Amino acid sequence: MKHLTIENLPKHEAVPVLGEFLQLYYVRNSGAAFSIGSSMTWIFTIAMAVVVGIVVWKTLEVRSRLWATVLGLLLGGVLGNLTDRLLREPGFAVGHVVDMISMPWMMPAIFNVADIFIVSGMISVALLVVFGLRLDGTRERDHAQSADDATADGAEDAPASAGI
């Protein structure tokens, strides 16, 4: 998508796809969302490299298809933008991310498919944690129940105290 954007879209001109609802608008972003931190591009590069490392490390524990999908979305999005940071102008580790999707009715931001994957992935991670689904596919409540059962079994097996 980024290659097609660079090759086919004019820079800084709206190209309507669905009128004002969806437009293509080619820009290069040195910062994060809404161009925040434009002068600190290298920090985003380091942060994304750390995220890639953590996601890859956590995938070693994944036994849940849902978690695998969510972490795959997140990893794909981060790698897409990290590649821009590492390989695009103005130079290594400070490259500008290619953005091209604009929905002016919703927000003033211009974003890309990788950003969609990152945001969707992070929201999904939060939901999986809130609903208690572990990386191994088990649920928190199952582990809590097992711990309660073990405690109850231990109390029943304890010897009665002498002298009563």
Residues serving a catalytic function are 99, 115
Radius of gyration of the chain (CA): 23
Query: 3-state SS of the chain: helix, strand, coil percent to 5?
Result: 55, 15, 30
Write out the two tokens for 49.
């490299």
CA 96, CA 98: separation in Å to the nearest integer?
Answer: 7
Please state, as a whole number, how many other Cβ atoms lie within 10 Å of the Cβ of residue 99: 23
